[in-house]
């Protein structure tokens, strides 16, 4: 949360998603999200890569959120926990992961502003 707040303006943190066009019953929360035109950039911190979560439940969650905002969604799913880099015995440090997350958020913001995000859902998973 601190890295996002120090580097970016306008992200909402851990509040239900509401729009003027939907009076939805659910109170799904997104860790961090930012409206950019017709797109929501959503950052999820997935502790332990959400290994205990069922894929079907994640799909239901995406569907619920799409009912609230039927625009484009760009997701960054970020695992902050210790893991080993592919093909390397060294563990990726948390500090390095945060640096890479900030870089990825900047890339996605530029990508969205330039109109290059064409798909309804784009999901980037970091450190899974």
- The residues spanned by each domain of the chain are 2-126
Of 117, 77, 84, 105, nearest in space to 5 by CA: 105
Residues 6 or more apart whose Cβ sits within 8 Å of residue 71: 38, 39, 40
**Average pLDDT score over residue span 2-27:** 80
pLDDT value at residue 113? 97
Class of domain 2-126: alpha beta
pLDDT of 48 higher than 70: no
Question: pTM above 0.95?
Answer: no
Burial string for 50-87 (b: 16+ CB within 10 Å, else e) reads beeeeeeeeeeebeebeebbeebbbbbbbbbeeeeeee
pLDDT value at residue 60? 83
pLDDT value at residue 108? 98
The pLDDT tens digits for 60-85 are 888 888 888 889 999 999 988 876 55
Bridge partners (DSSP) of residue 99 are none
Of 105, 38, 95, 103, nearest in space to 75 by CA: 105
């Amino acid at each position: 949360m601190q890295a996002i707040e120090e580097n970016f303006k306008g992200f909402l943190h851990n509040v239900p998603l509401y729009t003027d066009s939907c009076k939805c019953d659910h109170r799904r929360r997104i860790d961090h999200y930012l409206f950019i035109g017709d797109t929501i950039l959503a950052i999820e911190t997935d502790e332990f890569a959400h290994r205990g979560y069922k894929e079907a439940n994640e799909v239901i969650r995406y569907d619920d959120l799409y009912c609230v905002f039927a625009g484009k969604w760009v997701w960054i799913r970020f695992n902050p926990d210790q893991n080993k880099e592919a093909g390397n015995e060294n563990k990726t440090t948390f500090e390095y992961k945060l640096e890479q997350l900030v870089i990825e958020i900047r890339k996605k913001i530029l990508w969205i502003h330039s109109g290059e995000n064409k798909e309804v859902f784009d999901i980037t998973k970091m450190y899974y």
